Structure 1
């Protein structure tokens, strides 16, 4: 009787082990047909014949996609093994871009491209990191002194605000409530979010970003200190009421209609940049249902891709550089004492207000 029991136990153990091994090596039929029916191998190759449809699908033109692939291909390529062929760098990039362009769940992306959900969950952060690392030095480098001066000149020519090096604002990036985070990422809008703080130039490009602030922190709770340190003396950034008044940061002035109007015109560039970012990358239309680290990587990738797309668009579609002279429209700012930053900020604001009401006036400002 004992022998029969032992044999039965051994048989059951063997059967369970066999079933487990079979499951470990099992690949679903939909994934096996990836190279024949997957979205990358079928639909995307057909879309390459139509630049406009391809761009609507991945947000990049075929030329921009190939350029980006050449820049990051070596970073995201994987080696083939004796058991399976690796997913190509082109397909990995397509999966990441499609996720950023739609905000669909990992499961939806996996079903479309006929890969595993775990595969998508590893591809998205890896490719997003590679995009940021490969593009940031060229497309989001901190401007030099001459570049700051050029930006200020274009701000004055286009938005009638002199000595302005950029517009500053924050955007709440909605995320799924992190585990055991309490109210740390809870914001005043009733959602959980990360804060994206950005300095934007006159061409709607991000000059500097900071990602990762807690959602409960107001937009003005974080300042891009490196950008403020690099800006030219007597030049300023413009922001809204959420930010404090500083000698190099101008905010609305209660009761000063003309000053507020001129500041708001200049500040529109950062609002427009956030709008363009959200319309291009629909992942911002939904809550990020990934962990904090992956969400930060995706945000940084979309911001540098935003600059990449604007800089690689044909020059005929972009506003050209405007020559900047050495004339100082507000010479009084250079004589402000530096021993009291709060008093200095007020005097700088008064200098702008006086300039906007005198020689710096524009014909339409009194009609607003």
Structure 2
């Protein structure tokens, strides 16, 4: 006689049999989790590493074009940052080498290609590149900024910069040329129109002070593109220290002819006792035209610095698609690398034809090579007129009299039409 089995137990037994019978059939269809794609594990063979080795041996110019620096510059940079980016091998896989990390980063800065695209040439996954590139840029900044982007902190350092401006551009007592550009970005998540600028795209602002040799002395990155351009400089640490007299600028007793030590800027910035800008173009007298011309000559260094920067690091031609803090690091690294290459390899990085030149005999300005490419960095909007202090007005008038008097140069009148 069979023992009694309740209907509930029968249903449980049937369910168990069905589960056991189908378990083996489900295994082949179950999606397997993988550590990484097989071909990415062979990046030593399938990446651009072999191409770069061949270019080193047979075509140094192509090597320089590929990474935007000569091989000796690459080797020097690699030796500096290796301790900061070197990773240890694990039992799961070999670490990506410092050389591979640096070449991937430099290629990204040189081209601005999407990470999903770059994985096919670097042999590194897009997810890994999203970590490697900002990390390597941070290491570049950490290793180079002290020697290659040191903001002056003493009166003597400011006077050295002014001497270079006076010798090269016939503009005395100048601590640098100020300008700003909009850097195009993709809209950050949930940001609305916060980064949407007056030109109709999303951006952050790069504000810079440049010396007479086209080198960045100071950069401020990250202000949202929607902010009025006049407020960009107001919110910078540079302008805060300038207003608080914390820059250790030379006093009038230390400057040439007792004129205020000053920075040159365009119409986007407010006139200040230490910031000179052009006179409005409406109803200009001949003397004011002379002042504007002399100021524009000195200002040309910052225009050329931005032009060379964007031409060499074409990530600035794109809408950078990274997290905002990573974008700041990438742009800052481009500026530091610009200075590094300018100082270490100036003849090849910045040849004469690369920047604007002026024929003092004819007055003709020969545009630099960078001007033959479409402009990609948008200018700041001309600022709204503000209340100007008497000291600021007097300072500009003093320079106007100087450039039309004792400070005149023999060829300046022929430049005015």
- Quick one: which of 263, 268, 279 aligns to 1:242? 268
**Distance (Å, rounded) in 2 between the aligned partners of 1:158 and 1:94:** 36
Alignment of 1:45-194 (within 5 A): 45-49=53-57, 50-143=59-152, 144-194=154-204
**Distance (Å, rounded) in 2 between the aligned partners of 1:354 and 1:117:** 59
Shift of 1:272: 0.4
Alignment of 1:265-276 (within 5 A): 265-276=297-308
| Closer, same or farther: CA 12–147 of 1 in aligned 2, 3 Å | farther
Q: Is the 8 A contact 2:271 2:388 kept in 1?
A: no
**Distance (Å, rounded) in 1 between the aligned partners of 2:232 and 2:300:** 20
**Distance (Å, rounded) in 1 between the aligned partners of 2:128 and 2:26:** 27
Q: What is residue 22 of structure 1 aligned with on the other side?
A: 32
| Closer, same or farther: CA 239–20 of 1 in aligned 2, 3 Å | farther
**Distance (Å, rounded) in 2 between the aligned partners of 1:277 and 1:3:** 74
Q: Classify the secondary structure of the residue corresponding to 1:213.
A: strand
**Distance (Å, rounded) in 2 between the aligned partners of 1:318 and 1:97:** 18
**Distance (Å, rounded) in 2 between the aligned partners of 1:155 and 1:203:** 9
Q: Classify the secondary structure of the residue corresponding to 2:208.
A: strand
Shift of 1:22: 3.3
**Distance (Å, rounded) in 2 between the aligned partners of 1:11 and 1:155:** 86
Of structures 1 and 2, the larger Rg is shown by 2
Q: Is the 8 A contact 2:263 2:275 kept in 1?
A: yes
Mean CA deviation greater in 248-257 or 309-318:
309-318
| Closer, same or farther: CA 6–59 of 1 in aligned 2, 3 Å | same
| Closer, same or farther: CA 236–278 of 1 in aligned 2, 3 Å | same
- Quick one: which of 12, 15, 25 aligns to 1:5? 15
Shift of 1:33: 2.8
Q: Classify the secondary structure of the residue corresponding to 1:202.
A: coil
Give deviations 1:81-101, integer Å, cap 9, x for gaps.
001000001100111111010
**Distance (Å, rounded) in 1 between the aligned partners of 2:122 and 2:66:** 13
Shift of 1:221: 1.6
Q: Is the 8 A contact 1:199 1:270 kept in 2?
A: yes
User: CA RMSD, aligned part only?
Assistant: 2.3
User: What TM-score results when the alignment is normalised by the length of structure 1?
Assistant: 0.88
**Distance (Å, rounded) in 1 between the aligned partners of 2:77 and 2:166:** 33
- Quick one: which of 30, 34, 43 aligns to 1:34? 43
Q: Classify the secondary structure of the residue corresponding to 1:287.
A: coil
| Closer, same or farther: CA 345–24 of 1 in aligned 2, 3 Å | same
**Distance (Å, rounded) in 1 between the aligned partners of 2:201 and 2:67:** 28
Shift of 1:23: 2.6
Q: Is the 8 A contact 2:144 2:336 kept in 1?
A: yes
Q: Classify the secondary structure of the residue corresponding to 1:210.
A: strand
Shift of 1:37: 2.2
Q: What is residue 285 of structure 1 aligned with on the other side?
A: 317
**Distance (Å, rounded) in 2 between the aligned partners of 1:277 and 1:204:** 10
**Distance (Å, rounded) in 1 between the aligned partners of 2:22 and 2:143:** 54
